[in-house]
Amino acid sequence: MANHQHTNASIDARQPAFPDGLPLMRPRVPTAEELAPYLEEMQASGYMSNFGPIGRRYEETLAEMLQVKHCLAIANLSTGLMYLPQVIGLDGGEVILPSYTFVATAHSLKLGGLSPVFADIDPETFCLDPASVEAVIGPDTVAICGVHLYGTPCDVVALEEIAQKRGLALFFDSAHGIGSTVQGQPVGGFGLAEGFSTSVTKIYTTMGEGGFVATNDDTIAERLHMSRNWGRSKGDDSSFPSIVSKLPEVSAAAGLIELPRVPGYVAIRQRLIQRAETLLSDIDGISFPKIRDGDTSGHKDFAIMVAGEAFGMSRDDLAGALAAEGVETRSYFAPAIHQMEAYRDINHRVPLVVTEKASTQALCLPLFNQMTEDDVAILCETIAKIQLSTNSS
């Protein structure tokens, strides 16, 4: 590797490639005109939250879109994942999940009463490796939680087979899964339940925070509803302890405004990523996560893997050089969860080799619904120039 010292200066000393900056994402805020009828509806109904009529329409629209029986809107996915062990009927035990995901996956399941056990990821998709899952199953294992990372569906079919064969509960952290499909079926209806996030970094957002859980199981849906409502179903009695998680009506309105646009957003993101992958394909040391044949991604993120030796510069130095050009990036996901203070004392049953490599190589580049092909062309050209400058210095 060239002995590159990153200087935080742009290559062209006169001005950075993106003088006004290229953000990692640019969430779309609904316009006053779009929101006006919903605000009037809220004034008429008197509902601001509490499973009001807008929230119920949002849930019905989601369920139709994902072809599932129930979608339950919540204040954030972190609470939804925390509820899942209890609503599924798990009373403690171990859950197998990837360490290569956002820390909320582990935190929520831990707070939901399960002990996280990490399996390694597949070197092509960067999602759970089913063989590694099988290798870490132990006598206390009760569940598997797959994660559709960056929008790439994890190997749902293989995980379903393992769960069935070993008598384990299977559910998914589908925070990134909106707009993704597995063998023609929208992500949402797999396993016992799938939890989605609509926080600000997602393909669409419900006013910056929000989420929902999708399930085809009536009992799970009923218990999820009680969980998001302090363990209450009707009246003031409570059947079990639970923390509240409701999506306000105005957030559900933002969801209803955005949902018809989601297929268009996915198409734009797919086109931009395809263009970027073509433009970056000749650059040594850059590769891309793969999507299994028959699956599609909603492309929540545009991740590249930077192999420092071959590229001539580490992922972190490339991130610094891009920042000097006005480009915002994020190292999703570094450190991996098992390297974090909160989980460092867990004994790993398998070496998390692919996870650790990915967490030093992954770099998420800007991707948002209003991004243009010109932005992509300048971004890729900038990466090429950075590589050229480092290898010739």
Ligand X SMILES: Cc1ncc(COP(=O)(O)O)c(C=O)c1O
CB of 102 to ligand X, least distance (A): 3
Choice from 22, 59, 73, 76 touching ligand X (CB under 6 A): 76
Q: Shortest gap between Cβ of 200 and ligand X (angstroms)?
A: 9
CB nearer to ligand X: give 70 or 300: 300
Query: Within positions 164 to 203, which residues make up the interface with ligand X, using CB under 6 A?
Result: 173, 175-176, 197, 199, 201
25: its two tokens: 């994402």
| Euclidean distance between CA atoms 127 and 174, whole angstroms | 12
Cβ distance to ligand X smaller for residue 127 or 321: 127
What mask of x and - would describe binding to ligand X in positions 228 to 267, judged by CB under 6 A?
----------------------------------------
Nearest-approach distance from CB 343 to ligand X, in angstroms: 15
Q: Rounded to an integer, what distance in angstroms lies between the CA atom of residue 45 and that of residue 249?
A: 11
Residue in 78, 86, 99, 359 binding ligand X, rule: CB under 6 A:
78
Q: Does 329 bind ligand X (CB under 6 A)?
A: no
Identify any residues that bridge with 95 across adjacent strands, giving them in sequence order. Answer: 116, 143
- The pair of structure tokens assigned to 77 is 């996915």
Position 383, amino acid: I
Question: How many Cα atoms within 13 Å fall on the side-chain side of residue 57?
Answer: 15
- Is 361 a binder of ligand X (CB under 6 A)? no
Which one, 120 or 375, has the nearer CB to ligand X? Answer: 120
- Report the site for ligand X in 90-129 (rule: CB under 6 A): 101-102, 104-105
10 or 108: whose CB is closer to ligand X? 108
- Of 151 and 312, nearer to ligand X (C-beta) is 151
The conformational region for residue 184 under phi > 0 = left, psi -120 to 50 = alpha, else beta, is left
Question: Closest Cα to residue 318, out of 375, 385, 378?
Answer: 385
Query: Tokens 């929208």 identify what position?
Result: 186
CA distance 73 to 224: 10
- Which one of residues 77, 97, 193, 318 is an interface residue with ligand X (CB under 6 A)? 77
As measured in angstroms, the least distance from the Cβ of 380 to ligand X is: 26
In the block, which residue shows the tokens 């302090």? 230
Residues 77, 112 contacting (CB under 8 angstroms):
no
Is residue 25 near ligand X by the rule CB under 6 A? no
- Restricting to residues 122-151, which ones interact with ligand X according to CB under 6 A? 147
**Which range touches ligand X (CB under 6 A), out of 72-80, 186-194, 223-231, 289-297?**
72-80
Q: Give the DSSP per-residue string, 88-109.
A: HT--S-EEEEESSS-HHHHHHH
Q: Which residues 6+ apart lie within 8 Å of 386 measured at CB?
A: 11, 313, 318, 321, 322, 325
Give CA 7 to chain center in angstroms.
Answer: 32
- In whole angstroms, what is the distance from residue 135 CA to residue 354 CA? 15
Q: How far is the CB of 121 from ligand X (least distance, A)?
A: 13
Q: How far apart are CA 325 and CA 322, in angstroms?
A: 5
Binding site for ligand X (CB under 6 A): 76-78, 101-102, 104-105, 147, 173, 175-176, 197, 199, 201, 211
